[in-house]
Amino acid sequence: MGDEPLVRWDWIARNWDNGTPYAIKALLEDHTVMAFLPVVFGLLIALPLGLACARWRVLYQPTTGLMNVIYSLPSLALFSILLSVTGLTRTTVIIPLTLFSLAVLIPAVVDGMTSVPDHVRQSAVAMGFRPLRRLLQVELPIAVPVVLAGLRVATVSSISLVSVGALIGQGGLGYLFIDGWQRQFPTPIVVGIALVTLLALVADLALILIQRWLTPWARARRAA
């Protein structure tokens, strides 16, 4: 990239919010939406599916086997397959990333549910808790740390993988990588890397805070 300085601050200032779809701010917003929607969709699907797999273990191996096969596929290949169906839209990126999230979240839900001690379930039954109440008030709260650990992995992975979508024109901050390489201009690449990393750190920290809020007994145990 020649004698070009690593970061051109004047270029960042001019392009942060210049009113175009390729402004840094607009790309960051697109990246955030395309990264978090698959995780939200994945969680909504993984919770009931994971609960079913935990309840009927015969479902677990074929479900996770299918998810692992999907997770092993290159994301660009899935994008290419979907192009003929969903076209050059966000949907082409969101569907594969949702499937990738499921590969992480379903085992997390199952592991979280199996981490609930049997004597806790038996105590809830003895206290007259019906299955739905036992699930909502006893089992899920205990499973929260394990599920959120999987959610953290899925979120950070999704934030990273969105960039690949730039190859089909829907990659958020990934556009900066392509733009920088094509023009042999390092500043967009540095900005893209910095913002993707920052977004992942902020998301991970937010999930840690959510976990602490949802598990106050864990804070009390550490304080003691």
Report pLDDT digits (tens) over 49-92: 989 988 888 888 888 888 888 888 777 788 878 888 887 788 88
Q: Determine the Cα–Cα distance for residues 12 and 15; give it in Å rounded to an integer.
A: 5
Q: How far is CA 12 from the centre of its chain?
A: 27
Structure tokens at 30: 């697109």
Q: Determine the Cα–Cα distance for residues 65 and 58; give it in Å rounded to an integer.
A: 12
Q: Determine the Cα–Cα distance for residues 176 and 70; give it in Å rounded to an integer.
A: 28
Q: Which residues contact 221 (CB under 8 A, 6 or more apart)?
A: none
Q: Which residues contact 13 (CB under 8 A, 6 or more apart)?
A: none
Q: What is the CA radius of gyration of the chain?
A: 21
Geometric angle at alpha carbon 223, from 218 and 224, rounded to 5°: 100
User: Given a cut of 80, is residue 4 above it in pLDDT?
Assistant: no
**Residue ranges per domain, the chain?**
9-223
The CATH H-level superfamily of 9-223 is: MetI-like (1.10.3720.10)
Q: What is the mean pLDDT of residues 17-37?
A: 88
Sign of the CA dihedral running 11, 178, 80, 71: negative
pTM score, whole prediction:
0.84
Residue % of the chain over a pLDDT of 90: 30
Q: Determine the Cα–Cα distance for residues 149 and 123; give it in Å rounded to an integer.
A: 27
